[in-house]
Chains A and B, each alone.
Chain A
Amino acid sequence: MYVAVKGGERAIDNAHAWLAEERRGDPAVPALGLDQIAGQLALAVNRVMAEGSLFDRGLAALAIKQARGDLIEAIFLIRAYRTTLPRFGASVPVDTAGMACIRRISATFKDAPGGQVLGPTFDYTHRLLDFALAAEGAVPEAPQAEPQPGPVPHVTGFLGRDGMIEPAEFTGAEPRDLTREPLSLPADRALRLQALARGDEGFVLGLAYSTQRGYGRTHAFVGELRIGTVGVEIEIPELGFAVEIGEVELTECETVNQFKGSRTEPPQFTRGYGLTFGQTERKAIAMSLVDRALRWRELGEDDTGAPAQDEEFVLSHCDNIQATGFLEHIKLPHYVDFQSELELVRKLRAEAEQARAARKAAE
């Protein structure tokens, strides 16, 4: 029997009121400002921008505050907000070769032009808790040096000159957009990169790690990792030319992967690519490894059955908002569904009981 019920409004209102109080915490402690979150929890803000797929530090900071620091909840809020915005257009593809880098390292070429620039990195820290941070204190100004003018070319360009690495494929195709049409497989590389760029950092990291451990191994080196700002240009129809509308901070990772060659291609290096909003290098490196693993078919490599090689598996499960939506919905009322399950199990039990009784009687 189906019985429609309603209720819980007062309970829900009160739960939300308590949530607001808990979010605020002890009123004797000053509330967090959005500028504090954007300035001092910048990497959390970056993750929300990258996976929320919307570059806006102020909004990401607000979402983190509203979500009490639950970053997936914050990403959810950003995804919901972005659907309300009219789309003015798509940018001219950003020129990462012209990036104003704050960090640029290569694990393959020590003396790459432009040098190894560490930037504000956790690398080489000792991972010891710094109790001095628990006390407020002024931070000394970071040292400065005279910047060397001149371009900072992509490291893979050097390999490309000798034909030692596959060229970047350019067909001029208009990329498909996951946010406008549902994911359909097979996906091309551009669509995979969009999905990975907004995919869950933990999921993409786990997959990338699995390739390193042998599940779809790709023998990756970080050819180059760079972080910095690039200008974003858009064609303005009413003007008839492109103008810069602002700047975004990006992390770009390009891996150089060993490739034994195939029937049509000579032995050479191949590439994996990662590009993400903000300073998010773990994600960018992981993305480039998974991108490379997913390219097995076009490169004529073996399908080893590894999860990271399975496009359907990776793309259908990398989005943490889809995942958490489906996962968490099972805690919401399923009274009717469960009632039918209950009746089914009771019926099965009764039948099994009857059968047992019949067997006993026959013996």
Chain B
Amino acid sequence: MSTAETVATADRRAWMGLLARAEPARLAALLGADLPEHVLLRAPEIGAVMVRGRVGGAGDAFNLGEMTVTRCSLRLASGVVGHAYVQGRDRDHARQAALVDALMQTGRSTEIEARVLAPLAAEETARRSARAARAAATKVEFFTMVRGED
């Protein structure tokens, strides 16, 4: 894989992950009702993925349990194909994520990035920061009361 391809793959992985983690309603609101024409290659389908952990956090894999996932693949009129695998059971979420994945590979990527992905990323960062800040406030500060020295 060339460097350009690696960068393109990394970018695509980043937006697909962001879309998968997005609140379905928020994604729908940002994307708006005016969706581009598309053909479904794989209609939104609800299923499960087996989540694996590692023994001791670093050893061999084991099957922890499943999570619900919805997937969708579609093709824009221009022939560009979009895929989505998103957590949960929301078919519209999967279809909209696949649409954004397709649009990000077209000339509209700058607009979609600004209108949909940037707000989703900013809101996600804010959500994560709020939790991290609350956790930080519960960090223990130890005070040495008495040091047992002779």
Contact = CB atoms under 8 A, between A and B. Distances in A.
Direct contact of A and B (CB under 8 A): yes
Interface of A: 49-50, 53-56, 58-59, 82, 85-94, 96-97, 100-103, 110-111, 115-120, 142-148, 154, 156, 168-179, 189-191, 193-194, 197-198, 231-232, 234, 236, 238-239, 241-248, 250, 252, 254, 271, 273, 275-277
Interface stretch (B30-38, B46-54, B110-118): B46-54
Given A172-B60, A232-B49, A247-B21, A59 B68 contact: yes
Contact of A89 (B49, B59, B89): B49
Interface of B: 9, 12-13, 16-17, 20-21, 45-69, 71, 73, 83, 85-89, 128-140, 142
A146 B133 contact: yes
A190 B13 contact: no
Contacts of B54: 93-94, 96, 168
A268 to B, nearest CB: 14
B88 A58 contact: yes
B60 A169 contact: yes
A119 B138 contact: yes
B65 A175 contact: no
Given A147-B132, A175-B61, A56 B50 contact: no
Contacts of A171: 60
Most A CB within 10 A of own CB, among B53, B73, B139: B53
Contacts of B59: 168-170
B49 A244 contact: no
Contact of A243 (B20, B66, B129, B140): B20
A54 to B, nearest CB: 5
A256 B45 CA distance: 43
B64 A243 contact: no
A73 B23 CA distance: 29
B133 A144 contact: yes
SS class, residues of chain A in contact with chain B: mixed
A111 B63 CA distance: 33
B52 A55 contact: no
A30 B60 CA distance: 48
B15 to A, nearest CB: 9
Given A93-B52, A190-B55, 8 more contacts: A58-B88, A88-B69, A169-B59, A170-B59, A175-B60, A177-B63, A231-B21, A234-B69
A198 B65 contact: yes
A56 B88 CA distance: 7
Contact of B52 (A92, A172, A198, A276): A92
A277 B36 CA distance: 38
Contacts of B132: 100, 147
B68 A85 contact: yes
A82 B48 contact: yes
A90 B54 CA distance: 13
B55 A189 contact: yes
A117 B60 contact: no
A244 B136 contact: no
Nearest to A59: B68
A92 to B, nearest CB: 7
B139 A117 contact: yes
Given A142-B134, A154-B57, A169-B59, A246 B69 contact: yes
A90 B87 CA distance: 14
Contact of A56 (B9, B17, B68): B68
Nearest to A143: B137
A20 to B, nearest CB: 24
A277 B52 contact: no
B62 A193 contact: yes
Contacts of B66: 53-55, 82, 85, 87, 179
A119 B136 CA distance: 8
Nearest to A50: B65
A145 B56 contact: no
Given A147-B132, A241-B9, A245-B49, A275 B64 contact: yes
Most A CB within 10 A of own CB, among B13, B48, B69: B48
Contact of B135 (A102, A242, A243, A254): A102
